[in-house]
Amino acid sequence: MSTWRDNLRTIEPYVPGEQPNLPDMVKLNTNENPYPPSPKVVETLKNFDCDSLRLYPDPNSQVLADALAKCYGLQSDQVFLGVGSDDVLAIAFMTFFNSKKPILFPDITYSFYDVWAELFQIPYERPALDDHFDLIPEDYYKENGGVVIANPNAPTGVLQSLDFLRDVIEHNRDVVVIIDEAYADFSGSSALELTKEYDNVLIVQTYSKSRSLAGMRIGYAIGNPELIRAMNDVRYSYNSYPMTRLSVALGAAALEDEAYFRETVAKVIETREWTKKELKRLGFSFRDSQTNFIFATHESVPAQTIFDVLREKHIFVRHFGQKRIENYLRISIGTQAEMERFIRETEQIIAQNR
């Protein structure tokens, strides 16, 4: 007998990092910023006109698009907004990847890319990173339906150079190349300038890491106006009012406080560099991270052991079961005090398990 179950879209869902909520926890598992949003954001929230919430938001989120354009020296029609960079990337996949040829992204990268490809029935191939977790440029020279590169890459933390990106783009002028810069603010480098040279390059960034607003779900893409228009056509066919009024207001307010932004990013970087030294001292090895996390493996103690014992102590890091990286931990950078506690506990675990 036929049933509605026959027509279900069955899909292996993405499993997000757990969101524990314990008073004494150190949460280093989802790459959030340990510092609160800017005082400008707080002020904007406290003074917000609640009555306006009865009205739909502006479908274009113009206030926020304008603020981002101003911040990056662009025109507003070069900016696309979404409900976090996941929403932005999902819409980019739907908009640009309608070829029968496979899209390309590395075997080890943000674990949502293959989930979207499955969801939207886009063929894909995953060239393997080399043994040092670097991308191999020649892997991206073949015919394809599009290219997606997280830079710096997650969960490896490795940054590829602008020359590398330029080379890949030059070999792929006939498809859209997405550069996912979720962590770029911690690297001091961005491929934003390439959007001026190449009409097929889309840069994706987020408020969830460097701007301390993961809870407000704000992501954006930057590219030539034709790319942005095509994404907006798909966006408006899916949900014409994606951004809450408060996301628009708080997102714009955050950009007004460039000093606070620079200061918190600098603090995270300083703590990251301290943590790197400590991890080395404890016998960890890792590629030099340019993000707000470190992807590390220990010379003798298995990642799973460290993960489990830390968890018992309410310190949460991320462990992926995936092949090639099953002995690695991804450790988000918290405050200096949080990282000191993390190092202290980890040192003990290693002493007890050597």
Which residue, 42 or 128, has its beta carbon nearer to a copy of itself?
42
We find the least distance from the C-beta atom of residue 218 to a copy of itself, in angstroms, to be 9
Measured CA to CA, the distance from residue 231 to residue 225 in angstroms comes to: 10
Task: Transcribe 146-204 into DSSP letters.
Answer: EEEEESS-TTT-PPPPHHHHHHHHHTTTTS-EEEE-TTGGGTT---TTHHHH-TTEEEE
Which residue, 37 or 157, has its beta carbon nearer to a copy of itself?
37
227: its two tokens:
């790319």
Measured CA to CA, the distance from residue 177 to residue 218 in angstroms comes to: 21
We find the least distance from the C-beta atom of residue 264 to a copy of itself, in angstroms, to be 10
We find the least distance from the C-beta atom of residue 206 to a copy of itself, in angstroms, to be 11
DSSP, res 220: E
Measured CA to CA, the distance from residue 271 to residue 263 in angstroms comes to: 12
Which residue, 58 or 340, has its beta carbon nearer to a copy of itself?
58
We find the least distance from the C-beta atom of residue 5 to a copy of itself, in angstroms, to be 8
Distances (CA, A) of 220 to 74, 296, 345: 13, 29, 38
- For residues 128 and 106, the answer to whether their CB atoms sit within 8 Å is yes
We find the least distance from the C-beta atom of residue 2 to a copy of itself, in angstroms, to be 5
Cα torsion angle, 320, 294, 158, 67, sign? positive
Which residue, 260 or 286, has its beta carbon nearer to a copy of itself?
260
Which residue, 48 or 327, has its beta carbon nearer to a copy of itself?
48
CA-atom Rg of the chain in angstroms = 21
We find the least distance from the C-beta atom of residue 330 to a copy of itself, in angstroms, to be 15
Which residue, 187 or 208, has its beta carbon nearer to a copy of itself?
208
